[in-house]
Amino acid sequence: MVELAPQYHTITAVVEDKPGVLARVASMLSRRGFNITNLSVGHSETPGLSRMTFVVEGDEWVVEQVTKQLYKLIDVVRVSDISDDSIVVREMALIKVKSTPEARPGIMQIVDIFRANIIDVATDALIIEVTGDEGKVDALIQLLKPFTIKETMRTGRVAMARGGTATGTKKASSDMTDHNAPDTEVVP
Amino acid sequence: MQLTGAQIVCECLLREGVNVMFGLPGGAIMPFYQTLPEYPALKHILVRHEQNAGHAADGYARASGKVGVCVATSGPGATNLVTPLANAMMDSVPIIALTGQVPRAAIGRDAFQETDTTGITIPVTKHNYLAMHAADLPRIFKEAFHIARTGRPGPVLIDLPRDVLEETAEFDYPAEVRLRGYKPTPEGSGRMIKRAANLIDDSCRPIILAGHGVLISGASRELRELAEKAQIPVITTLLGISSFSSDHVLSMGMPGMHGQAHNNWAINKSDLIIGVGMRFDDRVTGKISTFAPGAKIIHIDIDPAEVGKNVRVTVPIVGDAQRVLRTLSKEVAATTRPDWLGEIDDLKARHPGMPTSDTSKILPQQVIRDLRSATMGEAIVVTGVGQHQMFAAQHYGFTEPNTWITSGGLGTMGFEVPAAMGAAVARPDMTVWSIAGDGGFQMTLSELATIVEQRLPVKFAILNNNSLGMVRQLQDLFYDGVRVATAYSGNPDFVKLAEAYGIWAIRVSDPALVRDSIDRANAVDGPTLIDFEIAPEENVYPHLPAGGTVSEMIEGPMESTGTIKKEAAAWLN
């Protein structure tokens, strides 16, 4: 039997920047059994609004349900599945690598190739900062493993639409989803 | 105008049209209670348990169409509201819960009677608030009532730290609500409605499944117009009962687990299901993959998240049932469907449906039918959960909208006592009959005291089989008759119990005296209780096993004798 590869969707949500909003989102996702592999939150360009990026595992039905259930939360202003849009995706990681003076040049060479930065140097370790898609971060971590990685910290995926339009403003026009979503004009 | 937080709360309640609330005080909420004497227009009904305050607000809301309000203190007061909030959430009932909270500086320090009330109630409320400044209260209340009563209604909780109630702030009630993330859309898409009309015109065997949304949006007339114009039989879900008069020629009764067998067969044969204000709950559908196998589905609901959640929908229409049905009625062609209606008559003849046992004891079904004839349907009927609820749903025959109040989605035993109390407060012009089981009644009977104090003429009919009858039925049908923890061998004397509260009460064990006892209770000016000693082994039929298919439906006692359906038992929860 062929094991189907899991499907992943990138969803962004614009939410009210209020105490407890993350708890509401997390509570809903967990109680309804949705599998979120990645979640990042930060302020948006509009004061009072934050932007969340989720990576959801599941088929179209799951994504539609996640979207609708997110919309149902009063503090969620807009939700978009941007998987099929033209988007740029980035993740940042901090990687602490054991480094003896002898090993240091080899590490620096790899860092250069990946256009990453060394942001802290100590006698026995380096901290490397890298930005890119998950594949690039994974590859860097893989190459650094022989030097002994002491710690990694990854932000998770953030995504944005290419071009002049704001992320997630492209209207979904599927016949199956009469979302009746709030007007996008309400969001600057 | 400078007011204290507690005064602001009262001013907000008045502006939202509140004139009664159900509650029980405690330390943290006291500043609110001690302010109530300044606001005589806000009547407070003191209950015996906070859970009952919540259910009373629920019953009040369903009977009045207004928002119900309940009040509790912090900690245990608030946690006792969790069940009624979950109940109101599942059944889309607008209630506002006000809870006290420890002073702001004590929050997070495990202070006396502190719980994370907003944290606990996130999944059981439509929205909730922790008010951290008295100045925020007007906006919070304006939003809370708006959220509770619009769109798909639901419960909203406002947590009020003690010192927020005590601090002063400027009171200015906002004229409008500004919520970027909440904009219900009552107008259905015209394009979708047109497509739905075409589907109806093209269908040969359509069926309407009408749910609670029809009652909430007041769409009974529009539903009847559509059904009559396009000659579509109407099945009402448990919570949709009373939205379509049961004496109408197109009325079919209830579907699903304890629905009439012919309804489940009709759904099985249908080529078009029109779901209105309902959510294709598992009690309606049974095994989802075999539900209405030949049917396209039109789903009309105000909550977008319900559309496509449980079943594949051909035409989704997100909107208010009344507005959508009004437009849809105009769009569909008037027609007759002699073949389909004839086929349904044939199904009705072949599956006559709700058999009763041959017994010299009182049959619960008879009690329900006598209640119906004695009240001529001019009463509000409130039930709890279990066999008595299903007997009432099957046999009463509701004709007027909103005369039926029951705990549907959550299935809360004990709902019948406090919800009847709330309904009686809401509708002093109506007789309220609480049909109770002996199990559920004992969960919430403490409110008998409140009912007496408030002089509420609630009439109780206990269908007493000295057991948790529905669980006993499941044990007999699906667990080889192994009866565990379902017999109540030491039930109190309910007549003496009622009398201890000062309530007129009688016990009836002779079937010939059922109707007479109901007439006597109806003649009493005040609360009454009748303890009906019913045939203890009577089962609710039909019984479609949980997660079962229509062909697994047990239509009557003969068929089920010794029948153990292991596969179905595995689905039971």
pLDDT digits (tens, 9 = 90+) for A5-32: 678 899 999 999 998 999 999 999 999 9
Whether residue A118 is contained in a domain is answered as yes
ipTM: 0.90
Whether residue A148 is contained in a domain is answered as yes
Tens-place pLDDT, residues A40-69: 899 988 999 999 999 999 998 999 999 999
Joined tokens for residue A127:
């901290």
Closest-CA distance of chain A to residue B302, Å: 10
Identical fold for domains B190-350 and B364-540, yes or no, is: yes
Would the CB atoms of A68 and B118 count as touching at under 8 Å?
Answer: no
Give the domain range for residue A60: 8-84
Closest-CA distance of chain A to residue B149, Å: 14
Residues A42 and A75 reside in one and the same domain? yes
Question: What is the distance between the alpha carbons of residues B457 and A83, in angstroms, rounded to a whole number?
Answer: 60
Closest-CA distance of chain A to residue B129, Å: 10
Residues A76 and A23 reside in one and the same domain? yes
Residue B561: per-residue pLDDT:
41
Among the candidates A32, A64, A84, a domain finishes at: A84
Contact B410, B447 (CB under 8 A): no
Residue A15: per-residue pLDDT:
96
Interface residue of B180, B182, B194, B320 to substitute, partner A, most A CBs within 10 Å: B180
Residues A54 and A107 reside in one and the same domain? no
User: Is it the case that residue A178 has pLDDT exceeding 90?
Assistant: no
Residues A45 and A77 reside in one and the same domain? yes
Among the listed residues B327, B228, B322, the one whose alpha carbon sits nearest the alpha carbon of residue B277: B322
Question: Which uninterrupted H or E stretch holds B347?
Answer: helix B338-350
Residues A63 and A100 reside in one and the same domain? no
Considering only CA atoms, give the Rg of chain A: 20
Q: Which residue in chain A has the smallest CA separation from B298?
A: A176
Q: Which residue in chain B has the smallest CA separation from A23?
A: B119
CATH number at residue A19: 3.30.70.260
Give the residues of chain B that fall short of pLDDT 50.
Answer: 560-573
Question: Where are the domains positioned within chain B?
Answer: 2-170, 190-350, 364-540
Contacts of A7 (CB under 8 A, 6+ apart): A57, A58, A59
Phi and psi, residue B9, nearest 5°:
-55, -45
Identity of the residue in B180, B182, B192 whose CB atom sits nearest the CB atom of A178: B192
What value does the mean pLDDT of chain A take?
85
Tell me which architecture the domain covering B364-540 has in CATH.
3-Layer(aba) Sandwich (3.40)
- Residues of chain A in contact with residue B191, where contact means CB-CB under 8 angstroms, are none
Residues A21 and A67 reside in one and the same domain? yes
**Could you tell me if residue B173 is left (phi over 0), alpha (psi between -120 and 50 degrees) or otherwise beta?**
beta
Would the CB atoms of B305 and A69 count as touching at under 8 Å?
Answer: yes
Q: What's the topology of domain B190-350?
A: Rossmann fold (3.40.50)
Residue A7: per-residue pLDDT:
86
Residues A63 and A31 reside in one and the same domain? yes
Q: Which residue in chain B has the smallest CA separation from A14?
A: B181
Q: Which residue in chain A has the smallest CA separation from B188?
A: A180
User: Is it the case that residue A174 has pLDDT exceeding 70?
Assistant: no
Q: Which residue in chain B has the smallest CA separation from A62?
A: B309
CATH number at residue A102: 3.30.70.1150
Closest-CA distance of chain A to residue B229, Å: 26
Would the CB atoms of B180 and A77 count as touching at under 8 Å?
Answer: yes
Interface residue of A66, A180, A184 to substitute, partner B, most B CBs within 10 Å: A180
Identify whether B255 is preceded by a cis peptide bond (ω within 30 of 0). Answer: no
Closest-CA distance of chain A to residue B66, Å: 21
Residue A185: per-residue pLDDT:
33
Closest-CA distance of chain A to residue B344, Å: 31
What percent helix, strand, coil does chain A show, rounded to 5? 25, 35, 35
Q: What's the topology of domain B2-170?
A: Rossmann fold (3.40.50)
Residue B558: per-residue pLDDT:
61
Name which residue leads in pLDDT, B229 or A162: B229
- Residues of chain B in contact with residue A52, where contact means CB-CB under 8 angstroms, are none
Would the CB atoms of B118 and A20 count as touching at under 8 Å?
Answer: yes
pLDDT-derived band at A3, boundaries 50, 70, 90? low
Q: Is B41 exposed, middle or buried (0-12, 13-18, 19+ CB in 10 A)?
A: exposed
Residues A43 and A63 reside in one and the same domain? yes
Interface residue of A63, A178, A183, A185 to substitute, partner B, most B CBs within 10 Å: A178
Please tell me whether residue B421 adopts helix, strand or coil conformation: helix
Among the candidates A49, A84, A119, a domain finishes at: A84
Chain B residues touching chain A at CB-CB below 8 Å: 118-119, 122-123, 126-127, 130, 147, 179-183, 185, 189, 192, 303-305, 307-309, 313, 316-319
pLDDT-derived band at A37, boundaries 50, 70, 90? confident
- Residues of chain B in contact with residue A76, where contact means CB-CB under 8 angstroms, are 181
- Angle (nearest 5°) at CA B95 between B89 and B101: 100
- Residues of chain B in contact with residue A176, where contact means CB-CB under 8 angstroms, are 308, 313, 316
Identity of the residue in A23, A180, A186 whose CB atom sits nearest the CB atom of B119: A23
Among the candidates A62, A84, A106, a domain finishes at: A84
Residues A41 and A93 reside in one and the same domain? no
pTM of the predicted model as reported, rounded to 2 decimal places: 0.92
Contacts of B270 (CB under 8 A, 6+ apart): B205, B206, B207, B292, B294, B295
- Residues of chain B in contact with residue A65, where contact means CB-CB under 8 angstroms, are 305, 308-309
Please tell me whether residue A162 adopts helix, strand or coil conformation: coil
Q: Which residue in chain A has the smallest CA separation from B313?
A: A176
Contact B226, B208 (CB under 8 A): yes
Residues A94 and A33 reside in one and the same domain? no
* Domain count of the fold of chain A: 2
Would the CB atoms of A27 and B189 count as touching at under 8 Å?
Answer: no
Identity of the residue in A19, A31, A186 whose CB atom sits nearest the CB atom of B180: A186
Closest-CA distance of chain A to residue B168, Å: 23
Question: What is the distance between the alpha carbons of residues A58 and A9, in angstroms, rounded to a whole number?
Answer: 8
Question: Count of CB contacts below 8 A, A vs B?
Answer: 72
Residue B453: per-residue pLDDT:
98
Whether residue A178 is contained in a domain is answered as no
Chain A residues touching chain B at CB-CB below 8 Å: 15-16, 19-20, 23-24, 27-28, 31, 49, 61, 64-65, 68-69, 71-78, 176-180, 182-183, 186-187
Closest-CA distance of chain A to residue B307, Å: 9
Closest-CA distance of chain B to residue A119, Å: 37
Tens-place pLDDT, residues A75-119: 999 998 888 778 888 999 999 999 998 999 999 999 999 999 999
- Residues of chain A in contact with residue B123, where contact means CB-CB under 8 angstroms, are 27-28, 31
Would the CB atoms of A72 and B317 count as touching at under 8 Å?
Answer: no
Q: Is B529 exposed, middle or buried (0-12, 13-18, 19+ CB in 10 A)?
A: buried
Would the CB atoms of B126 and A74 count as touching at under 8 Å?
Answer: yes
Would the CB atoms of B305 and A71 count as touching at under 8 Å?
Answer: yes
Closest-CA distance of chain A to residue B175, Å: 19
Would the CB atoms of A178 and B316 count as touching at under 8 Å?
Answer: yes
- Residues of chain B in contact with residue A46, where contact means CB-CB under 8 angstroms, are none
Residue A172: per-residue pLDDT:
45
Whether residue A170 is contained in a domain is answered as no
Contact B297, B311 (CB under 8 A): yes
Residue A159: per-residue pLDDT:
86
Closest-CA distance of chain B to residue A58, Å: 15
